[in-house]
């Protein structure tokens, strides 16, 4: 069975002038190599396709694969994670992870929180500010937390994100609007412990993995799992698996969010406790980082006794079950 691999390499974008933060969500050659090696160990014939444009050229020439392992994130636009899945849907090639609609929804944090709220899933009260006037009109109680509405890897999240008055709200909010050119998510700050919950599978077959707490060390930016903390995680945070009632509550809310939003195959749900100790969903990572050493989902799996080869195998198993009980698809005419 042939498995193509689609990806965006951070080093290729940096060679074209994009900076380190702009490319923080993209993958490294190490990650692509690890996925390729795992797929070959699982018995697949692999082909490294590359980016959206490489995929477009190949399918225009009539190329196809039994399945594509897709980790493309690109660097700009609200639909940047949806482009490759949409093209694969158009040519009838199955692929790993979620569909274009789910990617577009979960990338836009405010839209995702609206759906979560409508589904009765706890998430912090919020507003979306598209300009300085809307920042001024925010009517949530302080303290508040600010972040770009459609970024990942902690981009735009720093010590200034936690604001306690209207002056700080206006100042940091305006800086985010200028810096990222997108709306700002303003939400009530959740003061409790922070967790990430791994999920493997789709729909009723989705399985919640052990819950991992993110513990901030001395010298960390302690208000949140910021861009700085993620980049320097070895010295800023400690990870630990947790059990008990709090872990069970995190698993329950994470699984409900995963299933209600239609997420597929594998990912993470980030959860933080409010002042009453109730877990609130912060965001859903439907296209998780898969560096075998440094990414949160492989770290969580490793701590839970699930090795990297098994993780990739479980993702592929879920995707193939969706595609037709493991049978290769034929390209549609």
CATH number at residue 93: 3.40.50.20
Q: Has residue 236 been placed in a domain? A: yes
Choose one of 268, 286, 304: the last residue of a domain: 286
Same-domain status, 244 and 180: no
Residues 258 and 239 in one domain: yes
pTM for the predicted model, two decimal places: 0.93
Which of the listed residues 188, 209, 243 is the one where a domain comes to its end?
188
pLDDT over 50 at 51, yes or no: yes
> Is residue 312, in this structure, part of any structural domain at all?
no
Q: Pick from 195, 101, 110: which is nearest to 150 by CA?
A: 110
Residue 92 shares a structural domain with residue 10: yes
* Residue 317 in domain: no
In a domain, 161, yes or no: yes
Give residue 332's pLDDT band: very low, low, confident or very high (50, 70, 90): very low
- Which of these three, 188, 203, 222, is where a domain ends? 188
CA-closest candidate to residue 177, choices 149, 204, 206: 149
Does 93 share its domain with 33? yes
Residue 329 has pLDDT above 50, yes or no: no
Furthest-apart CA atoms within the chain: distance in Å: 59
The domain that holds 267 is classified in CATH as 3.30.470.20
Residue 302 lies in a domain: no
Residues 74-84: pLDDT tens digits? 888 899 999 99
Task: Clarify whether residues 131 and 84 are in a common domain.
Answer: no
| Residues 184-226: tens digit of each pLDDT | 999 999 999 999 999 999 999 999 999 999 999 988 887 888 8
The vertex-226 CA angle with 161 and 168, nearest 5°, equals: 10
In a domain, 39, yes or no: yes
Sheet holding 144-148, edge to edge: 126-129, 184-188, 144-148, 162-163
The pLDDT of residue 266? 98
Spatial separation of the C-alpha atoms in residues 225 and 95, rounded to whole Å: 30
For the ranges 21-35, 117-131, 231-245, the one whose mean pLDDT is highest: 117-131
Q: Give the three-state DSSP class for 31.
A: helix
Same domain, 55 and 16: yes
User: Looking at the structure, do residues 52 and 79 belong to the same domain, yes or no?
Assistant: yes
326 located within any domain: no
Q: Which range marks the domain in which residue 150 is found? A: 125-188
The β-bridge relationship of strands 266-273 and 279-285 is antiparallel
pLDDT 10s digits, 61-105: 999 999 999 999 988 889 999 999 999 999 999 999 999 999 999
Residues 52 and 133 reside in one and the same domain: no
Residues 170 and 239 in one domain: no
* Predicted pLDDT of residue 69: 98
> How many domains does the structure of the chain reveal?
3
182 and 242 assigned to the same domain:
no
Q: Would you state the pLDDT for residue 262? A: 97
Q: What percent of the chain has pLDDT over 90?
A: 86
Between strands 45-50 and 144-148, the pairing is unpaired
- Beta strand residue intervals within the chain, DSSP E: 2-6, 45-50, 67-70, 126-129, 144-148, 162-163, 184-188, 194-200, 207-216, 237-242, 266-273, 279-285
238 φ, ψ (degrees, to nearest 5)? -125, 140
Q: Which long-range contacts (CB under 8 A, 24 or more apart) does 112-120 make?
A: 112/261, 112/283, 112/284, 113/185, 113/187, 113/281, 115/260, 115/261, 116/257, 116/260, 116/261, 116/281, 119/256, 119/257, 119/260
Per-residue tokens: 186: 């303003």
Q: So what's the pLDDT on residue 252?
A: 98
Same domain, residue pair 83 and 164? no
CATH at 141: 3.30.1490.20
Tokens of 143: 């303290």
Whether 24 and 75 map to the same domain: the answer is yes
Q: How far apart are CA 277 and CA 331, in angstroms?
A: 50
Lowest mean pLDDT among 6-10, 111-115, 151-155: 151-155
Q: Is residue 117 a part of any domain in this protein?
A: no
């Amino acid at each position: 069975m042939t498995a193509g691999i689609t990806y965006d390499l951070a080093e290729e974008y940096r060679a074209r002038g994009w900076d380190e933060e702009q490319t923080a969500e993209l993958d490294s050659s190490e990650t692509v190599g690890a996925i390729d090696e795992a797929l070959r160990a699982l018995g697949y014939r692999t082909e490294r396709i590359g980016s959206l444009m490489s995929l477009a050229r190949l399918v225009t020439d009539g190329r196809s694969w039994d399945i594509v392992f897709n980790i493309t994130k690109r660097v700009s636009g609200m639909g940047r994670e949806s482009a490759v899945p949409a093209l694969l849907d158009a040519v009838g090639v199955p692929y790993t992870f979620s569909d274009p609609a789910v990617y577009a929804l979960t990338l836009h944090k405010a839209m995702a929180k609206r759906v979560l709220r409508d589904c009765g899933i706890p998430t912090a009260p919020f507003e979306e500010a598209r300009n300085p006037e809307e920042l001024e009109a925010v009517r949530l109680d302080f303290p508040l937390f600010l972040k770009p509405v459609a970024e990942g890897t902690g981009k735009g999240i720093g010590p200034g994100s936690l604001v306690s008055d209207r002056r700080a709200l206006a100042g940091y909010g305006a800086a985010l609007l200028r810096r990222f050119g997108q709306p700002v998510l303003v939400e009530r700050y959740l003061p409790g412990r922070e967790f990430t919950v791994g999920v493997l599978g789709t729909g009723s077959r989705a399985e919640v993995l052990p819950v991992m707490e993110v513990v901030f060390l001395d010298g960390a930016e302690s208000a949140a799992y910021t861009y700085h903390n993620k980049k320097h995680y070895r010295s800023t945070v400690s990870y630990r698996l947790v059990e008990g009632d709090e872990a069970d509550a995190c698993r329950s809310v994470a699984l409900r969010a995963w299933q209600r939003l239609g997420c597929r195959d594998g990912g993470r749900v980030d959860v933080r406790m409010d002042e009453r100790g109730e877990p609130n969903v912060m965001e859903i990572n439907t296209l998780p980082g898969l560096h075998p050493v440094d990414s949160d989902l492989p770290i969580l799996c490793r701590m839970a006794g699930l090795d990297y080869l098994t993780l990739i195998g479980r993702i592929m198993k879920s995707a193939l079950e969706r595609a037709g009980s493991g049978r290769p698809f034929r390209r549609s005419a």
